[in-house]
Amino acid sequence: MAAKKTTQKKTEKKSYELFDNTTQAFIYNRQVAATQRMLDFDYVSERETPSVAAIINPTGRDGMEKFFFGPKEILVPVYRSMAFAAKKHKNVDVLISFASFRSAPKSVEEAFEIKQLKTIVIIAEGIPERRMKELIVKAKKLDRVIIGPATVGGIQAGAFKIGNTAGTIDNIIECKLHRAGSVGFVSKSGGLSNEAYNIISRNTDGLYEGIAIGGDMYPGSTLMDHLMRYEKNPKVKMIVCLGEVGGMDEYNIVEALEKKKIKKPLVIWVTGTCAKAFTTDVQFGHAGAKAGGDAETADAKNKALKKAGAVVPNSFDDYAQKIASTYKKLVKDGTIKPKPSPESLTIPMDYAKAMKEGMIRKPASFISTISDERGEELYYGNMPISTVFKRDIGLGGVLSILWFKKLMPRYATKFIENVLMVVADHGPAVSGAHNTIVATRAGKDMISSLVSGLLCIGPRFGGAIDGAAQMFSSAYDRGLTPQEFINEMKVKGINIQGIGHRVKSIHNPDMRVTVIKNYAKKNFKKTPLLDYALEVEKLTTSKRDNLILNVDGCIGICFADMLRMEFPKETADEYINMGALNGLFVLGRSIGFMGHHLDQKRMKQGMYRHPWDDILYLKE
């Protein structure tokens, strides 16, 4: 189903509001995990519509991307053009850019051209400082708000979440971020923001809004910018902040406190007090987290903030205690009236995750026991592909594993390879090759031409391998003499499959039969079915000299002998009855048909005489 249109009434935002529970955003660049996390937050926050209106994927193509909205699937539009997306979704006023540090400025400039996009989030870090300064100046002229760069974003509890902010849905619910509290929070650090959300949830009625401005030297919006928004917002009753060593931004907060621009209780701590333990200047992760003088140290800023009237803990260890005590005072004087927390909705667990954790089981639609590519290395049976080549088991070995689920001895795998070489091609006049040639000459592609030939395989062409093995095995197992077998088939009016040839005879033997027969006699421990078939041949050729054991019959009968040596008789018969031996003809003949296809492709038009069934043999 497609994402439904907004039914909640779109309210006009105040100047201090960036988001509400109708806010929708564009995601710039395809970020499946982040998008799904936003939609999961929407669902547990009981939003009526998804916060992601569309995905902008400039290197992809227009289309739809499938996501979950609670238990249901929705389709989110994907556009190459941000301008086109804006025309289609006029209610969107937020852009969350996951572009790289190289292309992020371009995405911001593009957003500046679209008047409806008021808030722009830049996730990338490492944007050149000069470029960022230019974007900040332009954003102020256009009255736009930039969050970032080098940020995880932010969250308005129960209303709107940016990307991966606050982590998993379990953490969001644990921190009560699915419904609004009374605390406004701002920080440079995204990681510390997540920790602060947890502290706030355990010591107050919860977060109202939290923003991580980003750790680069020149953030698009400052701590002070967001503190002043919280000061103006009547829904925010107290403010919590985390600054850090380096820069002079915290002194703007000091000035605002002294001038009573910030009147709400402010709990703030500037991290990096341990810098004094080092003998040289130290940069703490962020580009801006490095003191360029005494005034930029964390100790100096904490001291100035405390003097100006902020609630400043002695260390980060008692940060939570200061937040708790400040909150309790506001509850006591009636500024905050705690509300009971509503029960949160449950996000259904993804099927793949549930399977991975062993929480559910589902019968497979298909079961494969011959190969497995789920791990780091492909397996044929129980043999890794590297071992297949290390042991040099050859094509016959691979076929024995994939068809018969075990690696047969070398004599057997070599026999399989001999069979494939023998059946690869019987010339262009046989029906399968002829069809392949005709299809090729008609302009069909390789696969179509190959299939047209393979479809001719049957009892009169190639398919006699299975039939011969089945007929001779049955007669031998029932104890029929060769003559009794011949008589039985004559009474039934059925030709003995594997016996007879149009051209070859007892006086003009088929060398393919000779090759297969001699290999079996030399390498097999015993050949009871082959011996039985040769006795039948003596009787049939006494009546007509071309009623010889042909190549299909010889292959099928010898293969049955081999299978009975390597498997219990019942298992060998199962393989014969399920048509495995005809597979040898299909596999080998595919090689020949492919050759005929390529041969015809090489030939120039007009080198065939007519009619079509008059074959012209050409030797290069």
User: What letter would DSSP give residue 273?
Assistant: G
Ramachandran angles phi, psi of 401, nearest 5°: -70, -50
Q: Are both 307 and 372 inside the same structural domain?
A: no
**Domain-embedded: residue 502:** yes
Active-site residue, 178 included: no
What is the reported pLDDT for 611?
Answer: 47
- Using DSSP, state whether 20 is helix, strand or coil: coil
Residue 610 pLDDT > 60? no
CB contact at 8 A, 145 and 119: yes
Q: How many residues does the chain have?
A: 620
User: In this structure, what token pair is assigned to residue 503?
Assistant: 């051209």
Query: What range does the domain containing 110 cover?
Result: 1-152
**Domain-embedded: residue 33:** yes
Q: Are both 383 and 471 inside the same structural domain?
A: no
Query: b/e for 495-515, b at 16 or more Cβ within 10 A?
Result: bbbbbbbeebbeeeebebbeb
**Mean pLDDT computed over 427-432:** 85
- Residue linked to tokens 């023998």: 422
Residue 131 pLDDT > 60? yes
- Residue whose C-alpha is closest to residue 59's, from 25, 123, 106: 106
CB contact at 8 A, 123 and 151: yes
Assess whether the previous peptide bond of 611 is cis (omega < 30° from 0): yes
- Residue whose C-alpha is closest to residue 200's, from 216, 180, 187, 185: 185
Among 123-132, 171-180, 285-294, 364-373, which stretch is predicted with the lowest mean pLDDT?
Answer: 285-294
- Using DSSP, state whether 573 is helix, strand or coil: helix
Q: Tell me the C-alpha distance between 55 and 64, whole Å.
A: 9
What is the reported pLDDT for 288?
Answer: 47
What is the reported pLDDT for 361?
Answer: 80
Q: Tell me the C-alpha distance between 42 and 70, whole Å.
A: 9
Radius of gyration from C-alpha coordinates of the chain: 40
Residue 103 pLDDT > 90? yes
Residues pairing with 238 in the sheet: 183
**Domain-embedded: residue 614:** no
Q: Are both 115 and 218 inside the same structural domain?
A: no
Q: Are both 115 and 31 inside the same structural domain?
A: yes
- Residue linked to tokens 């979704």: 89
**Domain-embedded: residue 349:** no
Q: Are both 432 and 580 inside the same structural domain?
A: yes
Q: Are both 378 and 444 inside the same structural domain?
A: no
| Domain finish residue from 317, 338, 359 | 338
Contact residues for 211 (Cβ-Cβ < 8 A; gap 6+): 147, 153, 154, 185, 186, 187, 193, 221, 226
- Residue whose C-alpha is closest to residue 162's, from 108, 214, 100, 237: 214
CB contact at 8 A, 395 and 420: yes
Q: Tell me the C-alpha distance between 375 and 380, whole Å.
A: 12
Among 71-80, 270-279, 283-292, 521-530, which stretch is predicted with the lowest mean pLDDT?
Answer: 283-292
Amino acid at 507: H
Q: Are both 449 and 574 inside the same structural domain?
A: yes
Residue 277 pLDDT > 60? no
User: In this structure, what token pair is assigned to residue 300?
Assistant: 């100096």
The CATH number for 102's domain is 3.40.50.720
Q: Are both 442 and 547 inside the same structural domain?
A: yes
Amino acid at 16: Y
- Residue whose C-alpha is closest to residue 440's, from 607, 620, 593: 593
pLDDT per position as a tens digit, 330-360 = 999 999 999 887 777 888 888 888 878 888 8
Checking DSSP bridges between strand 379-380 and strand 383-384, what pairing results, if any?
antiparallel
- Residue whose C-alpha is closest to residue 490's, from 535, 540, 555: 540
Helix segments in 424-463, DSSP class H:
431-441, 446-454
CB contact at 8 A, 74 and 92: no
Q: Are both 145 and 256 inside the same structural domain?
A: no
Over the chain, what is the mean pLDDT?
Answer: 90
The band of 323, judged by pLDDT with boundaries at 50, 70 and 90, is very high
- Using DSSP, state whether 54 is helix, strand or coil: strand
CB contact at 8 A, 397 and 558: no
Q: Tell me the C-alpha distance between 59 and 588, whole Å.
A: 44
**Domain-embedded: residue 453:** yes
Contact residues for 39 (Cβ-Cβ < 8 A; gap 6+): 50, 51, 52, 67, 68, 69, 74
Residue 411 pLDDT > 90? yes
Assess whether the previous peptide bond of 149 is cis (omega < 30° from 0): yes
Q: Are both 325 and 375 inside the same structural domain?
A: no
What is the reported pLDDT for 289?
Answer: 45
The band of 599, judged by pLDDT with boundaries at 50, 70 and 90, is confident
What is the reported pLDDT for 431?
Answer: 87
How many domains, in total, are found in the chain?
A: 4
Residue 459 pLDDT > 60? yes
CB contact at 8 A, 414 and 397: no
**Mean pLDDT computed over 550-576:** 95
The CATH number for 570's domain is 1.10.230.10
CB contact at 8 A, 395 and 388: no
What is the reported pLDDT for 178?
Answer: 94
Q: Tell me the C-alpha distance between 264 and 330, whole Å.
A: 10
The beta-carbon contacts of 272-278 under 8 Å, at least 24 apart in sequence, are 272/244, 272/245, 272/246, 272/297, 272/298, 273/245, 273/298, 273/299, 273/302, 273/315, 275/245
- In the set 89, 178, 226, 286, the catalytic residue is 286
Q: What share of the chain is helix, strand, coil (3-state, %, to 5)?
A: 45, 15, 45
Q: Are both 252 and 146 inside the same structural domain?
A: no
**Domain-embedded: residue 406:** no
Q: Tell me the C-alpha distance between 69 and 73, whole Å.
A: 6
What is the reported pLDDT for 9?
Answer: 56
**Domain-embedded: residue 377:** yes
Q: Tell me the C-alpha distance between 300 and 318, whole Å.
A: 19
Torsion, Cα of 452, 455, 456, 457 (10° steps): 140
The CATH number for 318's domain is 3.40.50.261
Tell whether pTM > 0.75: no
**Domain-embedded: residue 560:** yes
What is the reported pLDDT for 567?
Answer: 95
CB contact at 8 A, 164 and 34: yes
User: What letter would DSSP give residue 165?
Assistant: T
Q: Are both 193 and 328 inside the same structural domain?
A: yes
- For the beta sheet containing 266-271, the strands, ordered from the edge strand earlier in sequence to the opposite edge, are 160-161, 153-156, 207-212, 183-187, 238-244, 266-271
Helices 410-423, 580-602: inter-axial angle, 10-degree rounding: 40
Distance between alpha carbon 349 and the CA centroid of its chain, in Å?
18
